[in-house]
A and B are shown apart, each in its own frame.
Chain A
Amino acid sequence: MLLTFPLVGVRFNPVENIIQWRWRNLALVGIGAFVLSALWRWALARREMVMVSAAGQSSFRQRSIWDNRTLRWSVGGGVVAGLVVVPWLVSTYQTNIFISFLLYVILGVGLNIVVGVAGLLFLGYAAFYAIGAYAYALLNHYLGWGFWAVLPLGGALAAVAGVLLAFPVLRLRGDYLAIVTLGFGEIVRLVLENWSSFTGGPSGISNIDRPGLFGQELSVAGTNIYIYYIVLAMTLLTLVVAERLKDSRVGRALQALREDEVACQAMGIDRVGVKLMAFGLGTAWAGFAGVIFAAKTTFINPASFTFFESAIILSIVVLGGMGSNWGVILGAAFLVLLPEYLRAFSEYRMILFAVAMVLMMVFRPQGMIPARSRQYPVEDAEREEGGR
């Protein structure tokens, strides 16, 4: 308060050459600072308490209500049903927002395989998004290929690019890997920007075909809803595949790689193969999302695939909870939907992002929905063993 006093409490009026004392402002700043710091300290103390009580408790993890299979399925079904009817209830503009939300869910889940499950910090994810988008744009522009032909191809191309990038960075981890992937992301963007004769340079490619529905002509709103359903189906597919991968032999190998590379090899896991797999599996989804993005906007240019884009996707993963696909959905909602609906506060958006990030790192570094290792039903095995 003492430090801010000259700034807030004193104002020099140059016209009348007098000093105005603003005691009210000073009081407000003082009270505000007091309340905020009290809140901050209270939250910190509460965090300590939770930690202590957690350490003191029995070591078994508590069961969550989500262990109930019926409940999980009914809630999931309800959400999907809700998402299916949404485009008929809201305007085209709203549908568009939802499309971009779902696109970010796909991207987040894809990146989550690399960052969250396999623990490889990856900063150039937008490059693979760009590869998917440009694959469709270029094939459509030069060869006239349709959306459905390119969709799997875009994913495959992005996966191949991911594996190719993985080769030189096999030995890198952590910060070093982050720098290389960051560089890769920038290289892809710069190539797209400067290879004007082929990619159209900074002005991009326009008039990309929208996806066809058995040769029918659809209105603009109709196409939008159609794309919405494509994205929705893709999102569900991504989630199912990612969840299944996580709970499989391959997924366990990826997690083991995140935990300890030497032990991982000593347990008979091929480090190189598993890393290549992580990159390929993670980047393929960016390719799919890119193809859909190009089809949705019908116009793409390199400005859509900057580092900022990679950072947002990474934030979604970190904020939602590394390794947790449900966290990614929540993170995407927070970072994509919220700014859209709080347009009134758009001036403060970046400040709010930053505050949210800092609070998150202090109070919940594991993310909104932390990943939980799977609980396996071994009761049967126990009985079987006990019965012998």
Chain B
Amino acid sequence: MEAVLDVRSVSMNFGGLRALSDVSVTVREGEIVAIIGPNGAGKTTFFNCVTSIYTPSEGEVYFTPRGGTPVRLNGMKPNAVTALGMARTFQNIRLFRNMSVLENVMVARHCRTRAGIFGAIFRPRWVRQEEAEIVRRSYALLRALGLHPWYNELAANLPYGQQRRLEIARALATEPRLLLLDEPAAGMNPQETAALKDLVVRIRDQFGLAILLIEHDMSMVMSLSERIYVMEYGCLIAEGTPQEVRRDPRVIKAYLGEVDHA
């Protein structure tokens, strides 16, 4: 199957600190891939490199847009990467808090629409149609994620779990091919986590996405992902199916510490 995301031995240095070293990750079409690792292993740094918020110090990131050839992302602006078809959510929720729930999703339609200043001022027919289309599609997305009862509410007033959902809805509105979820289950209770798991599978099937997620909740990671990458101190220490990773001695060592006197 075609690789949607191909990260080739990426390293990231912050001054003398090597946050990532020689990390290679591949995500194929329609796959759910997880990255796990202890706190500070460089998972979020890796996300920031992939989405071009940082430019990697070494290595290359290639992304294949829908029906296109692989594009090198190094040094591109984050908004251009989003326009290619990669969307993400954030570990610490970054919603547009003082805008309504619907507007949050409408903002994300930005890169798929084109009305400019003069379109806004004179409102020709095509702009009005475009606006109506934005509202319609955004509302449909809210509906798909069960957020429609709150559509007119300020995003800041949503309960925590719904805010995480809204982040996903907003990311989906950019029509991604690859969705990056940064700890989507953080701070959720077991019921909410289970619902989130179903949601991730459902949006993968419904929107034809590949999904790359960072997660600490092991039950979710093990049952959800098809492949897992394990990171520690900025390096990949293991990769494979959940079963393989679970048995890998290096992973056990990273998570549970070394068995000294066995």
Interface residues of A (CB under 8 A from B): 59-61, 241, 244-245, 248-253, 255-256, 258-260, 262-271, 277, 281, 373-376, 378, 381-382, 384-385
Chain A's closest residue to B127 (CB) is: A248
Interface residues of B (CB under 8 A from A): 51, 53, 77-79, 82-83, 87-88, 90, 94-100, 102-103, 106-113, 115-117, 119-121, 123, 127, 130-131, 134-136, 139-140, 143, 148, 150-154, 157, 170-171, 173-174
CB-based contact B79/A265 at 8 Å: yes
Min C-beta distance of B94 to chain A, whole Å: 4
CB-based contact B79/A245 at 8 Å: no
| Chain A to chain B contacts (Cβ below 8 Å), 12 pairs | A59-B150, A60-B152, A60-B153, A250-B116, A259-B97, A263-B90, A265-B53, A267-B174, A268-B82, A268-B83, A269-B110, A375-B100
Please name the 5 residue pairs, one residue from A and one from B, whose CB atoms are nearest each other, closest first. A268-B111, A248-B120, A268-B82, A259-B96, A263-B94
In Å, the complex CA distance between A263 and B182 comes to: 13
Task: With A269-B107, A373-B103 as known contacts, state yes or no: A245 contacts B94, CB within 8 Å.
Answer: no
CB-based contact A266/B78 at 8 Å: yes
In Å, the complex CA distance between A227 and B120 comes to: 28
Min C-beta distance of B120 to chain A, whole Å: 3
- What residues on A are CB-neighbors of B97 within 8 Å? 259-260
Min C-beta distance of B191 to chain A, whole Å: 21
CB-based contact B106/A252 at 8 Å: yes
CB-based contact A248/B110 at 8 Å: no
In Å, the complex CA distance between A385 and B96 comes to: 26
Min C-beta distance of A156 to chain B, whole Å: 13
CB-based contact A267/B119 at 8 Å: no
- What residues on A are CB-neighbors of B90 within 8 Å? 262-263, 266
In Å, the complex CA distance between A378 and B131 comes to: 12
Chain B's closest residue to A119 (CB) is: B98
- What residues on B are CB-neighbors of A270 within 8 Å? 77, 79
CB-based contact A269/B79 at 8 Å: yes
Taking a contact as CB atoms closer than 8 A, the residue among B77, B127, B170 that contacts A267 in the complex is B170
In Å, the complex CA distance between A161 and B177 comes to: 41
Min C-beta distance of B125 to chain A, whole Å: 15
Chain B's closest residue to A61 (CB) is: B152
CB-based contact B53/A385 at 8 Å: no
In Å, the complex CA distance between A115 and B103 comes to: 20
Among A59, A60, A259, A374, the one with the most B-chain Cβ atoms within 10 Å of its Cβ is A259
In Å, the complex CA distance between A328 and B217 comes to: 50
In Å, the complex CA distance between A264 and B121 comes to: 23
- What residues on A are CB-neighbors of B95 within 8 Å? 259-260, 263
Taking a contact as CB atoms closer than 8 A, the residue among A241, A248, A259, A376 that contacts B115 in the complex is A248
Taking a contact as CB atoms closer than 8 A, the residue among A61, A241, A264, A374 that contacts B103 in the complex is A374
Apart from the given pairs A259-B98, A382-B139, 19 other A-B contacts in the complex at a CB distance below 8 Å? A60-B152, A61-B152, A248-B119, A250-B115, A250-B116, A259-B99, A262-B90, A263-B94, A263-B95, A266-B51, A268-B111, A268-B112, A269-B111, A270-B77, A281-B117, A373-B154, A376-B135, A378-B102, A378-B151
In Å, the complex CA distance between A173 and B154 comes to: 24
Min C-beta distance of A250 to chain B, whole Å: 5
- What residues on B are CB-neighbors of A61 within 8 Å? 152-153
CB-based contact B102/A252 at 8 Å: no
In Å, the complex CA distance between A381 and B87 comes to: 25
Min C-beta distance of B83 to chain A, whole Å: 5
CB-based contact A268/B120 at 8 Å: no
Task: With A376-B102, A381-B140 as known contacts, state yes or no: A267 contacts B108, CB within 8 Å.
Answer: yes
- What residues on B are CB-neighbors of A250 within 8 Å? 115-117, 120
